[in-house]
Structure 1
Amino acid sequence: MVDADPQTVWDLLTDAPAYPHWNPAVVSLGGRIAVGEKIAMVSVVSPKQTFTLTVDRMDEPREMVWSGGLPLGLYRGVRTFTLAPLDGGRTDFTMAEVFGGPLAPLMNRVVPDMTDSFEQFGDAVVAAVRGAR
Structure 2
Amino acid sequence: MAFTIHTQVRIQAPATRVWNILMDFDSYLDWNPFIKSIQGQAVLGAKLKALIHLPGNKPMTFKPTVMSLVNEKELSWLGHLGIKGIFDGHHRFVLKSISPNETVLEHSEEFRGILIPFFRKNLEKNTQEGFEAMNQALKQRAERL
TM-score with structure 2 setting the length:
0.79
Deviates more, 1:107-116 or 1:74-83: 107-116
* Residues 93, 48 of structure 1: alpha-carbon distance in 2 compared, 3 angstrom cutoff: closer
Give 2:104's aligned residue. Answer: 92
The answer to whether structure 1 residue 128 and structure 2 residue 141 are counterparts is: yes
Give 1:31's aligned residue. Answer: 40
Does the CA-based 8 Å contact 1:65-1:80 persist in structure 2?
yes
Q: Which whole-Å CA distance do the structure 1 matches of 2:59 and 2:138 have between them?
A: 24
Q: Which whole-Å CA distance do the structure 2 matches of 1:110 and 1:128 have between them?
A: 27
Matched to 1:52, the amino acid is K
Which runs of 5 or more structure 1 residues have no equivalent in the other structure? none
Q: Report the 3-state secondary structure (helix = DSSP H, G, I; strand = E; otherwise coil) of the residue aligned with 1:71.
A: coil
Match of 2:66 among 27, 35, 55: 55
* 1:14-41 deviation per Cα after TM superposition (whole angstroms, max 9, x unaligned): 1111111121223322222222122222
Deviates more, 1:97-106 or 1:53-62: 97-106
Does the CA-based 8 Å contact 1:20-1:29 persist in structure 2?
no
Match of 1:65 among 63, 72, 76: 76
Q: Which has the higher contact order (CA 8 A, sep 6+)?
A: 2
Runs ≥4 residues deviating over 3 A? 106-112
Q: Percent identity?
A: 25
The answer to whether structure 1 residue 105 and structure 2 residue 140 are counterparts is: no
Matched to 2:134, the amino acid is F
Deviates more, 1:63-72 or 1:9-18: 63-72
Deviates more, 1:108-117 or 1:50-59: 108-117
Q: Which whole-Å CA distance do the structure 2 matches of 1:91 and 1:48 have between them?
A: 29
Does the CA-based 8 Å contact 1:38-1:54 persist in structure 2?
yes
Q: Which whole-Å CA distance do the structure 2 matches of 1:113 and 1:106 have between them?
A: 14
**In angstroms, what is the RMSD of aligned CA positions?**
2.0
Matched to 2:75, the amino acid is M
Shift of 1:108: 3.7
* Residues 55, 86 of structure 1: alpha-carbon distance in 2 compared, 3 angstrom cutoff: same
